[in-house]
A and B are shown apart, each in its own frame.
Chain A
Amino acid sequence: MRSTRPPGLFQTTLVLLRKDLLIEWRTRARLNALVFFAMATLLLFSFALGPDTKLLERNAGGYLWLAILFASVLSLGESFRVESENACLDGVRLAPADARAIFLSKALGNALLLLALGVLLVPVMVALYGVRIVTGLGDLAGILVLGSLALSAPGTVYAAISSNARARDVLLPLLLFPLVIPALLSAAKGTTLVLQGDPMQQLGSWQGLLLGFNLIYWGVGFVLFPRVIED
């Protein structure tokens, strides 16, 4: 016998996330575009600064996260563009899906995409800038996961807002960039420590800052997002 109980928040999130990932997997357009965009950005840094390997190696963590941040703006905008075509977002809400589940699935989907992007960029960075991963892949993975989550939570709220406003391409970075500076700073510092060794044991405190940032913005987004997409 089929149960008539409506699915819970967790279940709805998983279903919506699966739908988003399936759309992404069927086309693979977004991830391909993001990877090439971010690689071009990494390449441009080395052109803009000249072939000074020492300089590039020292700043590699910052460049990696700037490339991910720039790519995230494209990715976040795109994640709501697919929903506004044919009024899909209205359809999802009429399904009815909890608005908070829509936030969780979108933000998790964006974080997964950024994480995949980061994983693909690391070998490129190793080749282009000649960096070594000193403290181990586990630490690097931790920073990548926390950093992707940190960019995607406020980014999802702002992308939902700016996708319906005029001049959306200007608005999203203008809102998002100042907000994510603490996350960008700690992700870049953390990555630099992973790449160059951590004699003073500072990595933990940067990871803690990222974790705190995540807790605040995932919480705020979870509470406020339903108001953003209400009609």
Chain B
Amino acid sequence: MNKFVKFGLPALVLGLLGVGWWLGLAWAPPDREMGDVQRIMYVHVPLQWMAMMAMFINFVAAVTYLLRQSWKTDAMAEASAEVGLLFGTLGMITGSIWGRPTWGVYWSWDPRLTSEAILLVSYTGYLVLRRFVEDPEKRAVWSAVVAIIGAINLPIVWFSVRWWRSLHQVQSTPKTVDPQMVLPLRVAAFGMLALLILFMVHRYRIALAERKAEVALPDALPTDDPAQRAAHSSKVA
């Protein structure tokens, strides 16, 4: 497992993203209306999919934590929120790079963009909360509550393109897209999924290690009381 995470997963990420993006840039045809500009889809769309997935994992971890308390689910919630915010922000930046030549503006107040911006700000608030609460148990409970309340935004973002028909196009399906575009998108999406897993595993381990250090800290600190010091050293020995 460790070896796979250390060597296999990064190689898988590089391989899948390399092949997917090469297919997208060199093999797939340019879009009929947008031309080569459309090729940013092979980066933008997988990033947004993975951001949504990470935030959904965050929601599941938060619910699980409230049902059964465990540092593992709390660490998973922290990892998924941070990685999800990273992917979502990158997805938004690539989207606005694409928006400038296509729509003529970097940013429009379209429902999809607006709801996505709200989502990203609310996850920023979630991560700020995690930094501002020292007691690890309280932090875990409170951030789980905030995560569940914030996750109500997720379906709004996903369905916004259907509820309010506006500038942003509705989700395409393999039936509506050229097969030569579907393949690179799929490969790139699996590459991005591998990258998501890689980031999540590392961030999860860091979060878990931090939590264990925090929980162990009161005992591990050196004390001035000779009796306690003796008790502690005898326990260590």
Residues of A participating in the B interface, judged by any CB pair closer than 8 Å: 154, 157-158, 161-162, 164-167, 170-171, 174-175, 177-179, 181-182, 216-217, 220, 224, 227-228, 230
Contact = CB atoms under 8 A, between A and B. Distances in A.
B54 to A, nearest CB: 18
Given A178-B122, A220-B152, A227 B141 contact: yes
Contact of A178 (B121, B134, B138): B121
Given A174-B125, A179-B122, A224 B145 contact: yes
Interface string B168-202: 00000000000000000000000000000000000
Interface majority SS on A: helix, strand, loop or mixed? Answer: helix
A181 to B, nearest CB: 5
Interface majority SS on B: helix, strand, loop or mixed? Answer: helix
A175 B143 CA distance: 11
Nearest to B139: A165
Given A171-B128, A178-B125, A181-B118, A166 B149 contact: no
B167 interface: no
Contact of B149 (A154, A162, A182): A154
Contact of A174 (B128, B133, B152): B128
Nearest to B150: A179
Contacts of B138: 164
B93 interface: no
Nearest to B138: A164
B142 A161 contact: yes
Which 4 residue pairs are nearest across A and B when measured between Cβ atoms?
A178-B122, A178-B121, A174-B125, A175-B125
A205 B173 CA distance: 31
Contacts of B124: 174
B66 interface: yes
A178 B132 contact: no
B220 to A, nearest CB: 23
B145 A166 contact: no
A166 B132 contact: yes
29 contacts: A154-B149, A157-B145, A157-B149, A158-B146, A161-B142, A161-B146, A162-B129, A164-B133, A165-B142, A166-B132, A167-B132, A171-B129, A171-B132, A174-B128, A175-B126, A177-B121, A178-B118, A178-B121, A178-B122, A178-B125, A179-B149, A179-B150, A179-B153, A181-B118, A220-B149, A227-B66, A227-B145, A228-B142, A230-B141
